[in-house]
Amino acid sequence: MKNLFAKLKEEKRAGLVIFLTCGDPSMEFTEKLVERVCKAGADVVELGVPFSDPMADGKTIQMSSARAIKAGATFAKVLDLVARLRAKGIDKKFVLFSYFNPIFHYGTARAAKQSKEAGVDAWLVVDVPMEEGDEIRQYTTPLGIDFVPLAAPTSSPERIREISEHGSGMLYYVSVAGVTGARTKLPDGFQSRMQAVCKASKLPVGVGFGISTPQMASAVASVADAVIVGSKFIDTVYKTYVEKGEDAALEAAENFVRPLAAALKK
């Protein structure tokens, strides 16, 4: 991930990170969706591993995970998806976004080894705090897989620095207290808070939870290194898929991502 953020700095723009749930509504559709998202301007794709109890996520991603599980999505199938995308020449960064339970049941060492073989660049394990991260990093770090840490809006500058020192790739900053979900505006005092976060972090900072429009993305890009969008993207794509079918959903995805990517110049 380090080389990506160096490139973004040269280009004077923030990176665009798009989150999607693998297998919603099918793994075949997800494969096409990732290709379209990368073509439209995403720098990083967070590949959500479906989980039955996604406690950090709001209704949109909860329902997305439930649909994916019902359709037969598994940790192994997500890794197979990554391998197929790499074989097609997709070179954007892939972050495997998961709760620890699917990784633990798959086998952490095995999951790390096969992630590397498939072409995963980083892991983000949302329910593993800094103090327990070594249980994962002992397997990912030797393989060159970044371990993306999370920081909350309640984290002090000292805590943010410590969290960033125990991770790699980027720091995922949760912009609001609560769960994921599209919102209509950024929190009060966001700009000054982000200046403090970026000063404290030893890693590039990506901001997620609630960003839903190019205008919000532009405001985040003015102070952060990356903008992370998930719930609004999933809502838009799935609604179009249900109402108009696969081709229209893929077009809607591209039309959603392009203006976001264009809004990230610093």
218-238: pLDDT as tens digits: 999 999 999 999 999 999 999
| Amino acid 177: pLDDT | 55
CA 98 to the chain's CA centroid: 10
- Tell me the pLDDT tens digit for each residue of 119-133: 999 999 999 989 999
Cβ distance 64 to 21 under 8 Å?
yes
- Token pair, residue 210, equals 């609630």
- Token pair, residue 249, equals 């959903």
Alpha-carbon distances of 82 from 156, 245, 248, rounded to whole Å: 36, 24, 24
Q: Domains (ranges, CATH) in the chain?
A: 2-9+16-258 (3.20.20.70)
Cβ distance 221 to 193 under 8 Å?
no
Other beta carbons less than 10 A from residue 183's beta carbon: 18
pLDDT higher than threshold 80 for residue 185 = no
Task: Please give the residue that has the higher pLDDT: either 73 or 212.
Answer: 73
Alpha-carbon distances of 83 from 119, 144, 163, rounded to whole Å: 6, 17, 30
When pLDDT is cut at 50, 70 and 90, the band that residue 175 belongs to is confident
Residues 6+ apart with CB under 8 A from 139: 108, 109, 111, 112, 113
Rounded average pLDDT over 38-65: 90
pLDDT higher than threshold 70 for residue 181 = no
Active site residues: 46, 57
- Residue for token digits 């920081």? 151
When pLDDT is cut at 50, 70 and 90, the band that residue 178 belongs to is very low
- Token pair, residue 103, equals 């990784």
SS3 198: helix
| Amino acid 74: pLDDT | 97
